[in-house]
Chain A
Amino acid sequence: DGGITQSPKYLFRKEGQNVTLSCEQNLNHDAMYWYRQDPGQGLRLIYYSQIVNDFQKGDIAEGYSVSREKKESFPLTVTSAQKNPTAFYLCASSSPRGAGGGADTQYFGPGTRLTVL
């Protein structure tokens, strides 16, 4: 089945540790995104990538890093520099760019719930 997978589902991190969240898609989508969701707030964009080997910062990139070495994979590292990393992290992908480019309908993975101990 085609879809987006994220792992792990739950992650616990000690302060000062870096952790990496996995996101894989087999939808043949060019664009991939990482969002963070906090209670009572809308999703906020961390990083996005519209093509392999290229990515851009979103609205809240500080303390995070990404890579896009393969079309299918877009891992997110939460570094120790991220002051308040406890949140629900969602990865998404969108269909190939049409005329005019840019974001299209986005499909989400099941998310990773990160808790800092």
Chain B
Amino acid sequence: DTEVTQTPKHLVMGMTNKKSLKCEQHMGHRAMYWYKQKAKKPPELMFVYSYEKLSINESVPSRFSPECPNSSLLNLHLHALQPEDSALYLCASSQERGRTVKYFGPGTRLTVT
């Protein structure tokens, strides 16, 4: 099983809302990632978790707050977002941090109004 699941599939939120994106994998992978993808652009790395600890934050604004409750789950908490944050948010996992083979979830399509 190489499945990474993400919920919700679509999310519309106002600039004052607080929402969370969820990601789950049961492959025993110890690294999990959040990417952001704008239309017609390649995915851009946001955060990397390794063994449930945040190891990389690619200078992401604090209105994005990641959380890794356990080795299978990854959350992205959203607060006071801007319309330009509208994008496809992708979760991925790999056996260990740095492994180039990664498995991606289907993504959450976020629209900020």
> Are A and B interaction partners?
no
A binding-site residues for B, Cβ under 8 Å: none
B binding-site residues for A, Cβ under 8 Å: none
